[in-house]
Amino acid sequence: MKVMAFNGSARKDGNTAILIRTVFSELEKEGIETELFQLAGKKIRGCIACYKCMKNKDRRCSVKKDVLNECIEKMETADGIILGSPTYFADVSAEMKALIDRAGFVARANDDMFRRKVGAAVVAMRRGGAIHAFDTINHLFFISQMIIPASTYWNMGIGRDIGAVEQDEEGLLTMRVLGQNMAWLLKKLH
């Protein structure tokens, strides 16, 4: 089994990546393969509303000039998907929103191709707005018929500078329990 994670932060290996890797360590203890794809520095733009995915139904976005189709390919082959984002103005980053809108539309155009995959949202923030970013990601999972494991708190970690989330003990615990519950759920499903 494999869990594929996407980090929507503009900062590679920042707090969001630390939180995702905390979830990974629990998944890996249970023998689940993990891979992290970081959007930082990569070309990715928003949906252009061409609606070609609805017509083509070829499981890919018709805009082929950026990393989006590579992301969709990786999502398609995974059993579980983690979408991680920092909080930017009380929502996800622009990179993560581009991934949600385009991968989400392609999935809907192709008989809900993420249906019954396990999905988890992970959010980093400095002070406020993470719950809104968390909801944004979960909206994709819900409308895609995905299955969502829970944790002891909403999946967020607090910190501003890179590494600061490591001081947020409750945030890290939330990630560890999320990893354990995600592994448990994946094993029940497969």
Ligand X SMILES: Cc1cc2nc3c(=O)[nH]c(=O)nc-3n(C[C@H](O)[C@H](O)[C@H](O)COP(=O)(O)O)c2cc1C
One DSSP character per residue, 172-190 reads: HHHHHHHHHHHHHHHHHH-
Residue closest to ligand X, measured at CB: 14
Q: Which stretch binds ligand X (CB under 6 A): 71-79, 82-90, 137-145, 148-156?
A: 82-90
Using CA atoms, how far apart are residues 17 and 108, in angstroms rounded to an integer? 28
Among 3, 5, 6, 15, binds ligand X (CB under 6 A): 15
- For the CB of residue 11, give the shortest distance to ligand X in the complex, in Å: 4
Q: Is 167 in the site for ligand X (CB under 6 A)?
A: no
Q: Is 126 in the site for ligand X (CB under 6 A)?
A: yes
Using CA atoms, how far apart are residues 102 and 54, in angstroms rounded to an integer? 12
Q: Is 155 in the site for ligand X (CB under 6 A)?
A: no
Using CA atoms, how far apart are residues 40 and 31, in angstroms rounded to an integer? 28
Residue 17 and residue 36 in contact, taking contact as beta carbons nearer than 8 Å: yes
Q: Which stretch binds ligand X (CB under 6 A): 26-34, 63-71, 81-89, 95-103?
A: 81-89
- If you ran DSSP here, which 8-state letter would residue 110 be given? T
Using CA atoms, how far apart are residues 24 and 32, in angstroms rounded to an integer? 9
x-marked contacts with ligand X along 26-65 as a string, rule CB under 6 A: ----------------------------------------
Task: Give me the residues that bind ligand X (CB under 6 A), please.
Answer: 9, 11, 14-16, 86-90, 124-129, 159-160, 162
